[in-house]
Structure 1
Amino acid sequence: MGDAADGGRGHHLAGMVLGVRTDVDIAGQLDRGDTDPLEVRPLPVQERVLEALAALGFHFHRADLEAGRIRGTGQTLPFYQEIEYKAAAQFARRCSEVELSFVTGPDRVEVVLEFDKRGVFHGGDSVRTFVLDHGAGQHDLTGTVDGWVRGVLGH
């Protein structure tokens, strides 16, 4: 999906390497050295959210896979991807970073944002889930995401 240079879009995410390892039994010999890289690209609606965060000035920091469940979502797998951003300048007094996860279903995408609040909030995190249908991937979501962030941070 992305790297630090482009806000998390278009390149491999730092820290995220996926592959498929195959074991093949050929004439009694087992070849254990075959690992093929796997590329996972965002759905259009996910790409629009990533573009919106970059347009708002959030800076990609890193990504990883977390074991566990995101409470209150339709998550079905026992793990989730977390994409971390450093706060945009206009939000830096109220938030140091934002962690983003997508929970995707057949009709919609849950966008989970966890804000590491500071300053007037005396620290602590705030987790919010926003829902978009897949058709939102046809539109610029910068205003929508800006509204989410401002709503949570009290701007």
Structure 2
Amino acid sequence: MKNMNLIVVSVVCALVLAFSSACSKEESSSAPDQIRQTTVSQDQVKAQQQAGEALEQTIEKTGAASSEAATNTTSALDKVADKTKTALSGAAADTKTALSEAAADTKAALNEAAADTKEALNEAVEKTGEAIDKAADKITEAVTNTADKVKGITIPAK
């Protein structure tokens, strides 16, 4: 951008210089004869040609500067794209790692919960078995007591 500004300023200066030179030659000629007018006209043509050449050079330099700026911009965009791709790849890898760790933690928690559930069920089965044994013992005792009482009863004959 700075190069372009310098080029534009150079062109403007060249044009002003050419115009100023042409005007001063025109004013300094006091003789109105044909030879002086031809010389001034030739000087004006020469100044205009120089200004045109300066303008063409400026256009060429501006084109080169624009091409360079476009190349630099493309290069910068490529670098940004590469860095973005690298960052996204890293983020994807980090996400994959985090998901794998979460899956492992979940599996461990489920295994622990399953083991706790199995242990609780085994305890419940054991307590149920003990309760059934106690109930069976009480039923057996009640039947035995009832049988003993029945043996002691005499049934009258009819």
Which category describes the TM-score, using the shorter chain as reference length? under 0.3
Larger RCO: 1 or 2 (CA < 8 Å, sep 6+):
2
TM-score (norm 2): 0.18
The structure number with the bigger radius of gyration is 2
TM-score (norm 1): 0.18
More helix by share: 2
